[in-house]
Amino acid sequence: MLEKFRFLTAGESHGKCLTAIIEGLPSGLEIDVDFINSELKRRQQGYGRGGRMQIETDTVEITSGVRFGKTIGSPLTLVIYNKDYENWQKIMSVNPEDETDEKSFTKYRPGHADYAGSVKYNHKDLRNILERSSARKTAIETAVGAVAKLFLKHYGISCRSNILQIGAGLSEEDFHSEIDKAKEAGDTLGGKFEVIFENLPVGLGSYVHWDRAIDGKIAQAVMSIPAVKSVSFGNGQHGYKIPGSKFHDEMFLENGKIIRKTNNAGGVEGGMTNGEDLVVKAVMKPIPTLRTPLNTVDSSNMTETTAHFERSDTCAVEACAVVAEARIACVIANEIMLVNPGDYI
Ligand SMILES: Cc1cc2nc3c(=O)[nH]c(=O)nc-3n(C[C@H](O)[C@H](O)[C@H](O)COP(=O)(O)O)c2cc1C
Q: How far is the CA of 111 from the centre of ligand 1 (A)?
A: 9
Ligand 1 geometric centre to CA of 77 (Å): 25
Distance from the alpha carbon of residue 299 to the mean position of ligand 1, in angstroms: 21
Q: Which residue, judged by its Cα, is nearest atom 20 of ligand 1? A: 112
Residue at 77: amino acid letter: T
Whether residue 91 is predicted with pLDDT greater than 90 in this model: the reply is yes
pLDDT > 90? residue 154: yes
Average of pLDDT values for 5-18? 98
Q: Each residue of 164-205: pLDDT tens digit? A: 999 999 999 999 999 999 999 999 999 999 999 999 999 999
**Is the shortest distance between the CB of 323 and ligand 1 below 6 Å?**
yes
pLDDT for the residue 227:
98
- In short, whether 319's Cβ falls inside 6 Å of ligand 1 is yes
pLDDT at 1 over 80: no
Q: Which is the closest atom of ligand 1 to the Cα of 288?
A: 11
Q: How far is the CA of 113 from the centre of ligand 1 (A)?
A: 9
- Whether 317 lines ligand 1, by a CB cut-off of 6 Å, is no
Model pLDDT, residue 56:
81
Q: What is the mean pLDDT of residues 278-291?
A: 98
Which tens digit of pLDDT belongs to each residue from 38-59?
999 999 999 999 887 788 899 9
d(Cα 112, Cα 292) in Å, to the nearest integer? 15
Q: Which atom of ligand 1 is nearest to the CA of 228?
A: 26
User: Can you tell me whether residue 242 is helix, strand or coil?
Assistant: coil
- Can you tell me which atom of ligand 1 is nearest the CA of 112? 22
Is the pLDDT at 241 greater than 90, yes or no?
yes
Is the Cβ atom of 169 under 6 angstroms away from ligand 1?
Answer: no
What tens digit of pLDDT does each residue of 119-151 get? 999 999 999 999 999 999 999 999 999 999 999
* Mean pLDDT in residue range 311-334: 97
Q: What residue spans of the chain are helical by DSSP H?
A: 33-44, 52-55, 114-121, 127-133, 138-153, 172-184, 214-223, 244-247, 317-339
pLDDT recorded at residue 8: 98
pLDDT for res 70: 98
For ligand 1, what atom is nearest to the CA of residue 284?
A: 31
Q: Which atom of ligand 1 is the closest one to the Cα of 135?
A: 17
User: For ligand 1, is residue 189 a contact (CB within 6 Å)?
Assistant: no
- Rounded to whole angstroms, how far apart are CA atoms 258 and 270? 17
Would you say how long the chain is, in residues? Answer: 345
Nearest CA to ligand 1 atom 30: 135
Classify 195 as helix, strand or coil. Answer: strand
Q: Work out the average pLDDT over 101-121.
A: 98
Ligand 1 centroid, distance to 315 Cα (angstroms): 10
Decide whether any atom of ligand 1 lies within 6 Å of the 316 Cβ. Answer: yes
| Ligand 1 neighbour 179 (Cβ under 6 A) | no
What 92-101 contacts at long range (C-beta under 8 Å, 24+ apart), as own/partner pairs, is: 92/12, 92/14, 92/15, 92/16, 92/131, 101/125
Using an 8 Å Cβ cutoff, are 215 and 224 in contact? no
Predicted local distance difference test score (pLDDT) of residue 53: 78
CB-ligand 1 contact for 76 (6 Å cutoff): no
- DSSP element (H, E) containing 303: strand 303-306
| Nearest atom (ligand 1) to Cα of 313 | 8
For the chain, which domains are there? 6-339 (3.60.150.10)
**According to the model, what pLDDT value does residue 341 have?**
87
Task: Tell me, in angstroms, the distance from the centre of ligand 1 to residue 336's CA.
Answer: 30
Q: Which amino acid is at 330?
A: C
Mean pLDDT of the chain: 97
CA of 26 from ligand 1 middle (Å) equals 33
Q: Is residue 227 lining ligand 1, measured as CB closer than 6 Å?
A: yes
- Please state whether the predicted TM-score (pTM) of the whole model is above 0.95: yes
For residue range 193-236, list pLDDT tens digits in order: 999 999 999 999 999 999 999 999 999 999 999 999 999 999 99
